[in-house]
Amino acid sequence: MAIPNSTAFNSIIRFRSPEEEKRIVSELTTSLNEGDSYFVISKRSLQILILVDSSYVVHKLNVACRWYTSWQKYIASIGGGAPRPGPIDNSDIIDDTTSDGDPQLRRYLVEDEDYVLVPRQVWKTLLEWCMSLSIYLSSLLMHAWSPLKMLYARNVHNVTDIRLAKEASIRELYVKVCAKSLYVKVKQARIWDYLNRRKVKLLDPLSNASLEESGLLMDQDILLEVDEVGLAGLVNLGNTCYMNSTLQCLAHTPSILQYFLRDYTHQGELTKAFGELLKELWSSRKKALAPSFFKTKLDKAAPQFSGHYQYDSHELLISLLARLHEVSDVCQGQCKSTLVCPVCGKIANTYDSFTSLSLPLPSTRTWSISFLSCLENFLAEEPLGPNNMWFCPESKEKRKANKKLDLLKLPEILVLHLKRFRTSKYFVKKIDTFVNFPINDLDLSKYVKNKNGESYLYELYAVSNHYIGPGGVRHYTAYAKLIDYNKWYHFNDSYVSPVNESVVRSKAAYLLFYRRRVGSETKAQSSEVSMTD
């Protein structure tokens, strides 16, 4: 909202007689042309002027207490019997409690009772006579405004206000509704006239009929149904299942998806290719897409993944996040590594950032372990091995030391890497231990040193899985959740299928993707979850 310069109104205004003002306003009112803009002037105890132009841009002007009524009495009096209205003021028909922060006209105003309409030239003349400033509003605030309540078919308790003029068409309603829903295109949407929790009529997205003509009244409910999107698979280009698994997890990361679905100009060929692939995944009706263009750009940007060999999904994830500078911050946390030398009492602190936490799994033969026990072991103080002793800068000797890791800040998107591979000189062994990790309520608040009163409550939304088949053949898949629909799906290269949430926890879980519940009032339950087969 901007307040225009008041210099133009600071000139000396010659006060006219009541008869002269009445004549001028009468002449201006009779010389109207089609398409002229009108102002709303309040007739209530406190007044307001609103300019509604042809683009439905509204300009608010303060008007004095009983100003219009007082002015009518003034021009009706002969010889100045009634006093001339004073400085302009207002408040009573403006609602300052709206969620978007801009003042709006109150609802249920009645023409000729709460307000009157005057042409632009009348408004300008009254404005000059009153030496007032106008305050500009950027949203539609006119008597023809028709606020609607949009409900989502997937969750009718989720309600969004839609503000349009009564003259707006059904076609414009579809555009407005889809703009409110990030993932939705007009061709995927169906809007219903929704009365008393019943579908009354499906609205035609091509219709030019106005909301008023279509019977959509103030505060009327409309229902939005959307074809599910984000369910396209990725073709395996030859041992690229590790890439497909990682890409599906990132494609279903809300903050990353929101960034790339907007029309930003992305720097770097790999970033552009990644953004184009995400847009295609969330708009295509194809069952599977071939990520060939992205793979070409990946080979160029990160040659270590070139060719058609089987690489590691965690290594690819770290490499991608390092290159996707625009969104890497949402995955970035901070930690402190402390080295303590018992012999000399020296302490050395090192501060680092991370985009994932790699949690070692116990080497003992254990059928299952708790996720939190893995995390606590990861953060516990431990002695450095004989091949990793601390070099003391004073004695210039290597000494035994203990290492302790502290979490200082956790990111919005937390990626946890379960270290399932143990490498020796001659072989790589996979640890197939079942890790019992939380899905809906992972509360890490007590593990963060610098909480500042913040809650670190997370929910799982994606998993990268690793399997070893006959003959040692490795394969990656992904589980990802369509958060808006509260449904889980299995992404196995080109094949996508719905799954029950209970199957997401498995011995194949390799990368866990959690998103933080910012400002959630939900009290975290125990992070220890019941054991499942």
Q: What is the mean pLDDT of the chain?
A: 78
Quote the pLDDT of residue 304: 95
- Which residue has better confidence, 163 or 509? 509
Contacts of 198 (CB under 8 A, 6+ apart): none
Q: DSSP letter string over 33-55?
A: -TT--EEEEE-SSSEEEEEE-TT
d(CA 25, CA 33): 15
- pLDDT > 70 in the chain, percent: 74
**Does residue 475 have an active-site annotation?**
yes
Span of 71-80, 327-336, 482-491 with lowest mean pLDDT: 71-80
Characterize the bridge pairing of strands 288-289 and 233-234: parallel
**What confidence tens digit (pLDDT) does each residue in 378-424 have?**
999 888 877 777 777 777 788 788 889 999 999 999 999 999 988 77
Phi and psi torsions of 328, nearest 5°: -65, -25
CA-closest candidate to residue 417, choices 357, 331, 499: 357
Candidate list 241, 331, 335, 341, residue with the active-site label: 241
- Which residue has better confidence, 4 or 215? 215
Contact between 49 and 117 under an 8 Å Cβ cutoff? The reply is: no
Residue 23 has pLDDT above 60, yes or no: yes
Q: How far is CA 362 from CA 103, 175, 434, in A?
A: 60, 54, 11
d(CA 507, CA 368): 9
Quote the pLDDT of residue 450: 77
Quote the pLDDT of residue 84: 67
d(CA 513, CA 250): 9
pTM exceeding the 0.75 threshold for the entire prediction:
no
d(CA 398, CA 218): 77
- Which residue has better confidence, 272 or 146? 272
Quote the pLDDT of residue 51: 40
Quote the pLDDT of residue 6: 32
Contact between 207 and 164 under an 8 Å Cβ cutoff? The reply is: no
Contact between 249 and 281 under an 8 Å Cβ cutoff? The reply is: no
**What confidence tens digit (pLDDT) does each residue in 455-501 have?**
899 999 999 999 998 878 899 999 999 987 788 999 999 999 999 99
In the chain, the largest separation of any two C-alpha atoms, in whole Å, equals 110
Q: How many residues does the chain have?
A: 533
DSSP state of 481: E
Residue 55 has pLDDT above 50, yes or no: no
Quote the pLDDT of residue 438: 96
d(CA 444, CA 447): 5
Quote the pLDDT of residue 80: 56
Quote the pLDDT of residue 142: 35
CA-closest candidate to residue 312, choices 415, 417, 431: 417
**Does residue 490 have an active-site annotation?**
no
Candidate list 252, 466, 475, 490, residue with the active-site label: 475
